[in-house]
Chains A and B, each alone.
Chain A
Amino acid sequence: MRKMCLLSLMAVLSFGLIQVNTSYAADGDKVIYHVNLGNEQATDALRNIQNHLAVDPKVKIVVVTHSAGVDFLLQGAEDKNGNPYEGTVEKLAAKGVEFRVCKITLERRHIDPKKVIPEAKLVPSGVVEVTKLQQEGYAYLKP
């Protein structure tokens, strides 16, 4: 009877382990692009993401922005050559890339949330978002 109990405990535990392993194997590549330095870094990030998708069209990409990194997701934002960011962001969003903006940054810098372009989604904190996504198995890239 006691042995049976021990065996059943083992069975429950090992079943748990197997489940964890298979769920990992089923996931495709998931990547965070962390942007917090400003538009120059954002330009690099967008180029990197386009190349990333060209090589691996199935990759799940989330761009997490905070601090000066939110600037390129505000309405009317342009790169140093005067090209608007929104067109590129729209194209990437259509391919499944997600853009997230830190609410704490908007409050700290007194930016009206309405100025954020519709392709981007607000999150409570950029840093917490980066942490959470890694716990969900996302890799971290900083362009």
Chain B
Amino acid sequence: MSTEQKFSDEFLNAFVDDQLSLEERQQVYGCLAKDDALNRQVCELRKMHSLVKLAYEQPPLPPQGLKSLSAGRKLGLGLAAGLALIVGGVAGWFLHQSPAPPPVTVAQATSEARDPTKVLFHVSDGHPEHLRNALDEVEGLMQHYRKAHEKAQVEVVANGDGLSLLLAGISPYAERVRQMQKEYPGLKFVACQNTIDRIQHEVGLTVKLLPGVEVIDSGVAQIMRRQQEGWAYIQV
């Protein structure tokens, strides 16, 4: 069965961009496990997306590109910004003379405007105790951000012996991984395609991943890309 018939390029792009619903994603994962060509296609797309992101990473401001707005909107925005400056200046002058403004409002405004914290956990050791420690650390961090009401995006990238964490029928913590995926929407488990290929060639085993696990071309490349994108990196 050819890939092109199954998913359109647009659909796969949406998949790579993480814009699909859970059901649609599961549909793709199901096919990824069986279809080598599709796997390669998705890897290529991911690579391209990362390159595009890298190329356009600087400058980080403004968050909403002016380019996408029409000329009229630009002028409107300019006018609005100018007005805001004047209003802000005047308000600042009066506030300056009145008692101190409530600090709570300021704190809320900054925490809402901030990007989510992004953290990549790298798991490359397959010892069950290490895997358990790694999951403990990931869960501890997720709980910390939940308590602090901070948004967090966390990726657990498994490669080498660490991939055993994500292998169906092999992982000692399949159930815990499932629970954590369900509990924390900002958490993703990611498997390295290079390692999968190596296992399939060397052991002759058909690798089956736990449900909901994503595949990236190379764990090492992913670590490099994510750090260039400003993610924190922790090896556990």
Contact = CB atoms under 8 A, between A and B. Distances in A.
Contacts, number: 66
B137 A6 contact: no
User: B-side binding surface: helix, strand, loop or mixed?
Assistant: helix
12 contacts: A1-B82, A2-B82, A5-B83, A6-B74, A9-B77, A9-B82, A34-B235, A125-B144, A131-B141, A140-B232, A140-B233, A142-B235
B141 A9 contact: no
Contacts of A67: 133, 137
A88 interface: no
Contact of A17 (B59, B78, B137, B140): B59
A127 B140 contact: yes
Contacts of B38: none
Interface of B: 59, 61-62, 74-75, 77-79, 81-83, 85, 117, 119, 133, 137, 140-141, 144, 232-236
A109 B236 CA distance: 18
B81 A134 contact: no
Which of A2, A127, A128, A142 is most buried by chain B, counting CB atoms within 10 A of its CB? A127
A106 B88 CA distance: 48
Contacts of A53: none
Contacts of A16: 61
A8 interface: yes
Interface size, A (range): 20 to 34
Contact of B85 (A2, A8, A36): A8
B233 A13 contact: no
A13 B62 contact: yes
A110 interface: no
Contacts of B236: 36
Nearest to A16: B61
Nearest to A135: B232
Contacts of A135: 117, 232
Interface string A107-135: 00000000000000000110110110011
B82 A17 contact: no
Contacts of B140: 104, 125, 127
User: A-side binding surface: helix, strand, loop or mixed?
Assistant: helix
Q: Which 8 A-B pairs have the closest CB atoms?
A: A5-B82, A6-B78, A134-B232, A5-B78, A9-B81, A131-B232, A2-B75, A142-B235
Interface in A1-51: 1-9, 12-13, 16-17, 34, 36
B233 A6 contact: no
A31 B83 CA distance: 44
A6 B84 CA distance: 12
A125 B61 contact: no
A64 to B, nearest CB: 10
Contacts of A66: 137
A131 B62 contact: no
Contacts of B233: 134, 140
B81 A8 contact: yes
A125 B141 contact: yes
B141 A128 contact: yes
A140 B141 contact: no
Given A5-B81, A8-B82, A134-B233, 13 more contacts: A5-B82, A6-B81, A8-B81, A12-B85, A13-B61, A36-B133, A124-B144, A125-B140, A127-B137, A127-B140, A127-B141, A135-B232, A140-B233
A127 B234 contact: yes
B168 to A, nearest CB: 27
